[in-house]
A and B are shown apart, each in its own frame.
Chain A
Amino acid sequence: AQSVAQPEDQVNVAEGNPLTVKCTYSVSGNPYLFWYVQYPNRGLQFLLKYITGDNLVKGSYGFEAEFNKSQTSFHLKKPSALVSDSALYFCAVRDMDSNYQLIWGAGTKLIIKP
Chain B
Amino acid sequence: DTAVSQTPKYLVTQMGNDKSIKCEQNLGHDTMYWYKQDSKKFLKIMFSYNNKELIINETVPNRFSPKSPDKAHLNLHINSLELGDSAVYFCASSQDLVESYEQYFGPGTRLTVT
A interface residue numbers (CB < 8 A to B): 32, 34, 38, 41-46, 49, 51, 88, 90, 94, 98-102, 104, 106-107
B34-64 contacts to A, CB under 8 A, are 40-45, 48, 55-56
**Interface residues of B, count at CB 8 A:** 22
A94 CA to B90 CA in the complex, in Å? Answer: 18
Please encode chain B, from 1 to 24, with 1 for each CB lying within 8 Å of some chain A CB and 0 for all others: 000100000000000000000000
Contacts of A41 in B (CB 8 A): 108
- Starting from the known contacts A100-B97, A104-B42, 14 additional A-B residue pairs (CB-CB under 8 Å) come to A38-B41, A42-B108, A43-B4, A43-B90, A43-B105, A43-B108, A44-B105, A49-B102, A51-B100, A94-B100, A99-B48, A99-B55, A100-B98, A104-B43
The 7 closest A-B pairs by CB, nearest first: A43-B105, A46-B102, A104-B43, A44-B105, A32-B100, A107-B41, A99-B56
Give the contacting residue for B105; candidates A32, A45, A51, A104; CB below 8 A.
A45
Contacts of A44 in B (CB 8 A): 43, 90, 92, 103, 105
Give the contacting residue for B42; candidates A46, A101, A106; CB below 8 A.
A106
Q: How far is the CB of A83 from chain B (nearest CB, A)?
A: 21
B83-114 contacts to A, CB under 8 A, are 90, 92, 97-98, 100, 102-108
Contacts of A94 in B (CB 8 A): 100
Contacts of B106 in A (CB 8 A): 43
